[in-house]
A and B are shown apart, each in its own frame.
Chain A
């Protein structure tokens, strides 16, 4: 009997959606737009935050130059010394010959203009944390402690800016996501309330023939979930399409800073998230709308 009732209630939700086609379509459209805006903002914030977070790693390096006439053994000793320091993740020696070869290949004119290699041996120091680059570079510049170092370069200011940008994006994006989440819930709740309101006479009749609150509520909740899930699916598709276009554009611009956007957030994640979000918002929105409406009757 319970199974029979459940089948009837699911069928009832389907029939209601089909028979109130125009109202369902309007609800679906509104939910889709609201979820696309919410999902699009979440996606953009996530990608921007991910990008800003990943950038300091590209500058997570200090270049230590040795004097032009320094012996190779000095460089090896210094590498050993640096490797032992806790702030350091790894070290790599780029000899002046290797560096010159690279320049020769890319800039043959220079090769012709200069008679001998003016470059210095360089140790690339990869740091454990991007945030510690500046103080560590300052430490290496101390001639008393490191007399064999000619100069030290780091991307201190740029790294600090990027870290700050990452924080700002996180805070603004987080606030925006919460605000949009509430706005979307409100829109979905209001849309479903309109569909419920349009059927208030029907609901009264149901109550008068002895339908329980759950008997009235379940098909309406299922309708809300349906609108949310379908709206979420369409929104997911739209975001994926728009995201792909943006990525392709960024790649075509080939900005040396942007490079390829990281892609931890897979298509499946976005799709799943939007469907889940749509379903949850549809369920909560319709529950609130129905609860309020059933109380009024």
Chain B
């Protein structure tokens, strides 16, 4: 479903964010992307959301080389994926309901469709009780739940989460990761870039590791550190 072949990304200042990456992710997988700052985790997610383009190689999503997409085709592509940001990325002037409905509004959904779908998604993320609150009236964990709800409202096949627990305390982080796991169990492919040892170790799912732009690790079931995975296996 997601296939990267010899992918390299070099920024205009000469920085090589990714080099020669070969990677395949199947439909319905849950993948943690780990590595130190500047290793290339966020660049991988940006490649998949088409915020960045590969300088070399090909990135295929559902058989389509997304580097070939014209700017006019990008909105339609992005409606098929959901994106969750570390800083939640909620529209500050919109209520919880409006933030979630906005993602449907841009697809041309009717009010009736929104009235049906938005409460259902808010229920799924455990935020049905605060539809009229503004983002600044919510805790970090609650804001991230709304961001996940917005990412899910158009029923994407792929959910990209860039450090979704980066601004949250450990307990709330586990709640968010449980929610992402629940979404994955329902059939959505989930890719999470993270620094958070606890959530990776807690869930024990596929882990791919980057260092200086190179893919150095790919384990079907793993912990945050490669050595810990080995110990667990032994």
Interfacial residues, chain A to chain B (CB-CB below 8 A): 1-2, 4-5, 8, 15-16, 19-20, 201-202, 204-213, 215
B78, B105, B154: the one contacting A207 at CB < 8 Å is B78
Interfacial residues, chain B to chain A (CB-CB below 8 A): 49, 51, 71-72, 74-79, 83, 89-93, 102-103, 105-108, 110-111, 150, 154
Give complex CA distance A13, B67 in Å.
Answer: 33
Interface contact A210-B76, CB-CB below 8 Å: yes
Give complex CA distance A213, B76 in Å.
Answer: 12
Contact A16/B93 with A4-B110, A209-B102, A210-B79 known, Cβ cut-off 8 Å: yes
Shortest distance between the CB of A188 and any CB in chain B (Å): 23
* Neighbouring A residues of B103 by C-beta, 8 Å: 209-210
In addition to A4-B108, A206-B102, A213-B72, 6 A-B residue pairs with Cβ atoms within 8 Å of each other are A5-B105, A207-B78, A209-B106, A210-B75, A211-B106, A212-B106
Subset of 25 A-B contacts with CB under 8 Å: A1-B110, A4-B108, A4-B111, A5-B105, A5-B108, A8-B105, A15-B93, A205-B89, A206-B106, A207-B74, A208-B51, A208-B83, A208-B89, A209-B79, A209-B83, A209-B102, A210-B76, A210-B79, A210-B103, A210-B154, A212-B72, A212-B106, A213-B72, A215-B75, A215-B106
Give complex CA distance A197, B26 in Å.
Answer: 39
* Neighbouring A residues of B75 by C-beta, 8 Å: 207, 210-213, 215
Give complex CA distance A8, B154 in Å.
Answer: 18
B72, B78, B111: the one contacting A209 at CB < 8 Å is B78
For A201, the closest partner residue in chain B by CB is: B89
Give complex CA distance A211, B83 in Å.
Answer: 13
Give complex CA distance A211, B77 in Å.
Answer: 11
Contact A208/B78 with A15-B93, A16-B93, A19-B93 known, Cβ cut-off 8 Å: yes
Give complex CA distance A45, B71 in Å.
Answer: 47
Shortest distance between the CB of B218 and any CB in chain A (Å): 27
Nearest 8 CB-CB pairs, A to B?
A210-B79, A210-B78, A19-B93, A211-B106, A209-B103, A210-B75, A212-B75, A205-B89
Shortest distance between the CB of A293 and any CB in chain B (Å): 15
Give complex CA distance A209, B76 in Å.
Answer: 10
Shortest distance between the CB of A289 and any CB in chain B (Å): 19
* Neighbouring B residues of A15 by C-beta, 8 Å: 93
Interface contact B93-A209, CB-CB below 8 Å: no
* Neighbouring B residues of A205 by C-beta, 8 Å: 89-91
For B103, the closest partner residue in chain A by CB is: A209
Interface contact A208-B49, CB-CB below 8 Å: yes
A2, A20, A210, A211: the one contacting B93 at CB < 8 Å is A20
For B102, the closest partner residue in chain A by CB is: A209
Interface contact A209-B150, CB-CB below 8 Å: yes
For A16, the closest partner residue in chain B by CB is: B93
Shortest distance between the CB of A204 and any CB in chain B (Å): 8
* Neighbouring B residues of A19 by C-beta, 8 Å: 93
* Neighbouring A residues of B72 by C-beta, 8 Å: 212-213
Give complex CA distance A211, B51 in Å.
Answer: 14
* Neighbouring A residues of B105 by C-beta, 8 Å: 5, 8
Give complex CA distance A212, B71 in Å.
Answer: 9
Shortest distance between the CB of B50 and any CB in chain A (Å): 10
* Neighbouring A residues of B89 by C-beta, 8 Å: 201, 204-205, 208
* Neighbouring A residues of B90 by C-beta, 8 Å: 205
Shortest distance between the CB of A288 and any CB in chain B (Å): 19
Shortest distance between the CB of B152 and any CB in chain A (Å): 11
Shortest distance between the CB of B77 and any CB in chain A (Å): 8
Give complex CA distance A217, B110 in Å.
Answer: 20
* Neighbouring B residues of A206 by C-beta, 8 Å: 102, 106
Give complex CA distance A81, B18 in Å.
Answer: 99
* Neighbouring B residues of A204 by C-beta, 8 Å: 89
* Neighbouring A residues of B79 by C-beta, 8 Å: 209-210
Give complex CA distance A8, B101 in Å.
Answer: 12
Give complex CA distance A15, B154 in Å.
Answer: 24
Shortest distance between the CB of A195 and any CB in chain B (Å): 13
Interface contact B106-A210, CB-CB below 8 Å: yes
Interface contact B91-A202, CB-CB below 8 Å: yes
Give complex CA distance A204, B71 in Å.
Answer: 14
Interface centre among B72, B89, B106 (most CB of A within 10 A): B106
Give complex CA distance A204, B162 in Å.
Answer: 15
Give complex CA distance A1, B102 in Å.
Answer: 15
* Neighbouring A residues of B107 by C-beta, 8 Å: 210
Shortest distance between the CB of B103 and any CB in chain A (Å): 4
Give complex CA distance A4, B76 in Å.
Answer: 19
Give complex CA distance A1, B91 in Å.
Answer: 23
For A8, the closest partner residue in chain B by CB is: B105
* Neighbouring A residues of B108 by C-beta, 8 Å: 1-2, 4-5
For A212, the closest partner residue in chain B by CB is: B75
